[in-house]
Amino acid sequence: MTGLPSRPVEDRPLIDISVALREGTPEWPGDTAYSCRWTWQVSRGDSVNVSSTCGSPHVGTHADAPFHIDASWPRVDALPLEAFLGRASVIDVRGRQGPMEQSALGGGVIAGGRLLLRTGCTIADGVFPAEWPWLSSSCVAALLAGGLRLLGVDAPSVDGRDSRSLEVHRALFGGGAMVLENLDLRGAPPGDYELVAAPLRLVGLDAAPVRAVLRALRPE
């Protein structure tokens, strides 16, 4: 086999904003780490390679479900796919400290109601960050009033690391917005893009892995 056949593609480069998931990808302290073993291997004389993985769905790039914080709220297989597909704005807030007010976002229009925050506090370098910025309650309320439908962050959580009340999660889910965490936005300059980031349809769970991709918008 020499490779897959080539086919024409649109001249809009893709930016993979997913953290590479491998053994050693940092998990939230105390959560179940990702691991992999091989059920069958060609190198051992088997006819195929077949792997088996284990780990929390919160390791690596993922979508949280409302059920994550409230047992009466929807689980991950009930998430609305429309929230994870469409125009999105990447805003650079590196160097900021939380909680951030709306002024930290620059006051621009958020494309499609989808906001991706580049905090620089990502696990993509292989280290779980000590802290990261997050949005204030008043900022989240204002964004929801303006039509926010998804908040994505390159940090491990949309809330602060030490939060126990998870106010940002609760406000977002209560306002009908979805959550993406552990993005890798290092290769995504600030601006507007098309986002494709559908979560896996895992029945009954609190979160699901996502392969998140940005693509340049079509010229108007």
Which one of 58, 62, 68, 169 is the catalytic residue? 68
Residue 186 lies in a domain: yes
Contact between residue 124 and residue 154 where contact means Cβ atoms under 8 Å apart: yes
Q: What was the pLDDT predicted at 98?
A: 84
- CATH of residue 138's domain is 3.50.30.50
Rounded to an integer, the average pLDDT of 13-24 is 96
Residue 11 has pLDDT above 60, yes or no: yes
Contact between residue 133 and residue 119 where contact means Cβ atoms under 8 Å apart: yes
Q: What was the pLDDT predicted at 5?
A: 55
Residue 37 lies in a domain: no
Contact between residue 181 and residue 134 where contact means Cβ atoms under 8 Å apart: no
H or E element that contains 167: helix 167-174
Percent of the chain with pLDDT over 70: 95
Residue 7 lies in a domain: no
pLDDT band of 13, cuts 50, 70, 90: confident
pLDDT digits (tens, 9 = 90+) for 81-137: 999 999 999 999 999 998 999 999 998 889 999 999 999 999 999 999 999 999 999
Q: At which residue do the structure tokens 């469409």 appear?
A: 86
Contact between residue 194 and residue 187 where contact means Cβ atoms under 8 Å apart: no
Q: How far apart are CA 166 and CA 168, in angstroms?
A: 6
Rounded to an integer, the average pLDDT of 15-44 is 98
* Residue 154, helix vs strand vs coil: coil
Residue 93 lies in a domain: yes
pLDDT band of 48, cuts 50, 70, 90: very high
Residue 36 lies in a domain: no
Task: Give the structural domain span for 133.
Answer: 14-27+56-215
Residues sharing a CB contact under 8 Å with residue 109, sequence separation 6 or more, in sequence order? 89
φ/ψ of 103, rounded to 5, equals: -60, -25
φ/ψ of 82, rounded to 5, equals: -60, -30
Residue 6 lies in a domain: no
Residue 172 lies in a domain: yes
Compute CA distances 50 → 3, 43, 46, 114, whole Å.
20, 12, 9, 37
Rounded to an integer, the average pLDDT of 179-200 is 98
Residue 27 has pLDDT above 90, yes or no: yes
Angle of CA points 125, 130, 133, to nearest 5°: 95
Judge whether 68 counts as a catalytic residue: yes
Residue 48 lies in a domain: no
pLDDT digits (tens, 9 = 90+) for 131-184: 999 999 999 999 999 999 999 999 999 999 999 999 999 999 999 999 999 999
Count: domains in the chain: 1
Q: What is the largest CA-CA distance in the chain?
A: 61
What's the chain's average pLDDT?
95
Compute CA distances 200 → 21, 63, 79, 88, 207, whole Å.
15, 9, 10, 20, 9
Q: What was the pLDDT predicted at 185?
A: 98
Least confident of 5-9, 21-25, 99-103, 137-141: 5-9
